[in-house]
Structure 1
Amino acid sequence: MKSVTVQNLLDRFSMEVLAGHDHLERVIAKSKTHRPGLEFVGYFDFFSHAHVQVLGSKEINYLHTLSEEERNLRIGNVVKYHPPCFVVTRNQEGLKYLKKYCEEEGIPLLRTPERTSKFVDLMDTYLAKALASEIAIHGVCVNVSGIGILLRGKSGVGKSETAHTLIHRGHRLVADDVVVLKKISPETIIGTHNGTSKEFLALRSIGLINVSRLYGRRAFQDETRIVLDIELTKWQDNTLNNDLELEPKFTEYMDVRIPSIEIQLQPGRDVAGLVEAAANNWYLRQQGYSAMEDFMKRLQND
């Protein structure tokens, strides 16, 4: 199972350590933060104790209203579950009692200047990606007019060359050769690079190029949601039809179904243009438009 540590959070976010300096390697294995409001009033039936615990103004102000004896009881009941860490938002102060319990239990207590809602959104997004199930596949990932596309096919079929043409037309490279797919929700797959190959594109007869250096920063983006899977294959006569509407096909990655099509390559065929058409057609379908239905209505009205 994937995990991150409290130190990873410190490396990613602007936070100070108020307690638990010697326990920053504590592991976080859950992808959602939790605000322990109900737990501070004694309700623990559904306590998400393995999550990062975020204390906003509501939680801290409530604790400030309690007597010292009651406050110690409420905090003690929560820290005994040993959550990975506590994060206090909005640079709130008066946390001496929290520091005491966190030091005693070896739980990092962190503080951020961010507003609670914004911090929760940022942290949840980071953890969802950092803890997401992932696989690496051979292919190319591009973003075409805001639409994430995975280009697959046998080695040498022309995936990278197609990506290069798309970049030249103003679209963006995400990953070449090795595409890392991450499942961040039951319906969502994002594609990204493996770090080593970031910004690089390998072109036969040319070699390795850095698309950001060659075409500017707009030629590359770090990740994209994959919504279309395109397999590039060599041309074979009489294997593709001219149906007005093709039967929907899908490819599954980690149990997420992605719409899939095949594009055959042939000298002189504008493959990049066909990829653009596929992306734009997918977008129109999401808006509820079907070219086939539109065409049939016109026939009926003739």
Structure 2
Amino acid sequence: MKQITVEDIVNQFSLQVLAGAEYLRKAITKPRVHRPGLEFVGYFDFFPTERVQVLGTKEVTYLHKLSHEERKTRIGNIVHYHPPCFIVKGKEEELTYLKQHCTSEGIPLLITKHEQRTSELIAKLESYLANELAPELSIHGVCVNVSGIGILLRGKSGVGKSETAHTLIGRGHRLIADDVVVLKKISPTTLLGTHDENTKEFLALRSIGLLNVVRLYGQKAFQEKTQIVLDITLKKWEKDELNNELDHEARFTEYMGVQIPSIEIQVQPGRDVAGLIEAAVQNWILKQQGYSAAEEFMERIEKDY
């Protein structure tokens, strides 16, 4: 199971530590955060104790309205479950009572340094946690973003994956990763493709060597990550295997339980593989909009009979 620590989110979001500084190495394993509500009135049947707990203006205001003894009881009931940490939107001087509880129970208490809505803070936290805690798989290939669509290019070594990516960059598209592509499963149906840091911005071309695409072509040539939408396998040209059907039966490649539509493109000298990839992307976009060229063609044929 992947995990990060409370210290990681302190650094990522520039949070101030009010209590439990010695416990910042506590593990966080869940990609969602929780905003206590029912727990303050004593209902704990579905309390997600392993999640980061966020207290916004609404929760802090409610706690201030309670008597000292009642507030002590309500907060004590929650800290008793030892969540990884509390993140509070509020002023330090207003949180003395919470600081005391967290200190005694060994729970990091963190506050935001910058003014922002609680909903915005939660959205940023969950996006960060989902990315950091997502199951990962590293594969050999190239990842590019073509017209806003994430593409995996796979195939045997030497088939031309990196050269094709270079041509796509020249046409205004973006490199995500070359050689090693890191896939992250951020939901049951969503894969992100990214690099492994070591290969970030680099593209290896036979006979040329290693290129830094940002240094050569500017920041527009590179993107940190992209959602994977199509899986394209490049194969050496084999005449007898060339597929000429009007429309292929849908095929998929599975990565960590996520099905990604896949196609094969045969490669030979002079063939515009980058152009075919651009066409595949635009055709996929049209299909998402409900249009199929093959279906329209068959409808025309049927009208003539």
Same fold (TM over 0.5): yes
8 Å Cα contact 2:230-2:262 kept in structure 1 = yes
CA displacement, residues 91-115 of structure 1 (integer Å, 9 cap, x when unaligned) = 5751110000011111111111331
**What does residue 66 of structure 1 align with?**
66
**What does residue 117 of structure 1 align with?**
119
Alignment-mate amino acid for residue 268 of structure 1: G
**What does residue 195 of structure 1 align with?**
197
CA distance in 2 between partners of 1:158 and 1:200 (Å): 16
Of 143, 146, 150 in structure 2, the residue corresponding to residue 144 of structure 1 is: 146
Give the stretch that moved more between structures: 288-297 or 176-185.
288-297
8 Å Cα contact 2:60-2:90 kept in structure 1 = no
Q: 1:167 to 1:79 in 2, by over 3 A?
A: same
Of 215, 218, 223 in structure 1, the residue corresponding to residue 217 of structure 2 is: 215
> Helix, strand or coil for the counterpart of 2:244?
coil
Q: 1:273 to 1:48 in 2, by over 3 A?
A: same
**What does residue 8 of structure 1 align with?**
8
Question: Are 2:28 and 1:31 equivalent residues in the alignment?
Answer: no
Q: 1:91 to 1:287 in 2, by over 3 A?
A: farther
Q: Which runs of 5+ in 1 are unaligned?
A: none
8 Å Cα contact 1:90-1:116 kept in structure 2 = no
**What does residue 181 of structure 2 align with?**
179
> Helix, strand or coil for the counterpart of 1:196?
coil
**What does residue 44 of structure 1 align with?**
44
**What does residue 281 of structure 1 align with?**
283
Alignment-mate amino acid for residue 38 of structure 2: L
Question: Are 2:49 and 1:57 equivalent residues in the alignment?
Answer: no
**What does residue 88 of structure 1 align with?**
88
CA displacement, residues 247-275 of structure 1 (integer Å, 9 cap, x when unaligned) = 11000000100000000101100000001
> Helix, strand or coil for the counterpart of 1:43?
coil
> Helix, strand or coil for the counterpart of 2:75?
helix
CA displacement, residues 122-165 of structure 1 (integer Å, 9 cap, x when unaligned) = 00011011000001000000000000000000111100000000
Alignment-mate amino acid for residue 56 of structure 2: G
8 Å Cα contact 1:90-1:115 kept in structure 2 = no
> Helix, strand or coil for the counterpart of 2:241?
coil
- Aligned residue pairs total 302
CA displacement, residues 163-191 of structure 1 (integer Å, 9 cap, x when unaligned) = 00000000000000000000000000000
CA distance in 2 between partners of 1:282 and 1:121 (Å): 30
> Helix, strand or coil for the counterpart of 1:12?
helix
Deviation of the 1:299 alpha carbon: 2.9
Alignment-mate amino acid for residue 118 of structure 1: E
> Helix, strand or coil for the counterpart of 1:81?
coil
| TM-score (normalised: structure 1) | 0.98
CA distance in 2 between partners of 1:148 and 1:92 (Å): 44
Alignment-mate amino acid for residue 31 of structure 1: P
> Helix, strand or coil for the counterpart of 2:42?
coil
Alignment-mate amino acid for residue 280 of structure 2: A
CA distance in 2 between partners of 1:207 and 1:200 (Å): 10
Q: Which runs of 5+ in 2 are unaligned?
A: none
CA distance in 1 between partners of 2:54 and 2:275 (Å): 48
**What does residue 165 of structure 1 align with?**
167
CA distance in 2 between partners of 1:93 and 1:147 (Å): 48
8 Å Cα contact 1:19-1:103 kept in structure 2 = yes
8 Å Cα contact 2:34-2:54 kept in structure 1 = yes
- Percent of residue pairs bearing the same amino acid type: 67
Alignment-mate amino acid for residue 213 of structure 2: V
Deviation of the 1:14 alpha carbon: 2.4
Alignment-mate amino acid for residue 227 of structure 2: R
Q: 1:91 to 1:250 in 2, by over 3 A?
A: farther
CA displacement, residues 225-284 of structure 1 (integer Å, 9 cap, x when unaligned) = 001000001000110221111111000000100000000101100000001111111111
Deviation of the 1:291 alpha carbon: 0.7
Deviation of the 1:298 alpha carbon: 2.8
Deviation of the 1:210 alpha carbon: 0.2
**What does residue 232 of structure 1 align with?**
234
Q: 1:90 to 1:268 in 2, by over 3 A?
A: farther
Deviation of the 1:296 alpha carbon: 2.2
| TM-score (normalised: structure 2) | 0.97
